[in-house]
Amino acid sequence: MLGRLNHVAIAVPDLAAASAVYRDTLGATLTEPQVLPEHGVTVVFIDVGNTKIELLEPLNAQSPIAAFLAKNPSGGMHHLCYEVTDILAARNQLQLQGARILGDGEPKIGAHGKPVLFLHPKDFNGTLIELEQV
């Protein structure tokens, strides 16, 4: 079912400051910030060759990232995103195996313009998993 690791997401309290660290200290090239109201975040991607790093900043206090930062004020690793070829088939198979899909269970369009779903971290060793259709 799983394809390659698409990205590792890091929640940050200040996207501009985090971007500066990656750009100025680590020499990374970053995308322009992208606002994703449906997900409650602003994101920046860093291409590291074999995968990407996604920096996430909450848009408002209702964002799931705001809740994460309330527990982890300095930020931290938020989720892993894996590619799948058919997100609906993956969802259906996972549900049959007892995995919980977050939200209403229907894919939403993610930052790359492709359908995404999130899987409950309690079902995956404490790690929030995002699936992205390729």
The residues annotated as belonging to the active site are: 130
User: What is the Rg, in whole angstroms, of the alpha carbon atoms belonging to the chain?
Assistant: 15
Q: Which two tokens stand for residue 104?
A: 């209403």
The DSSP string of 38-66 is: TTTEEEEEEE-SSSEEEEEEESSTTSHHH
Please report, as a single letter, which amino acid is at residue 115.
Answer: P
Q: Identify the CA nearest to 79 among candidates 101, 99, 54, 43.
A: 54
Residues paired with residue 35 on neighbouring β-strands, in sequence order: 42
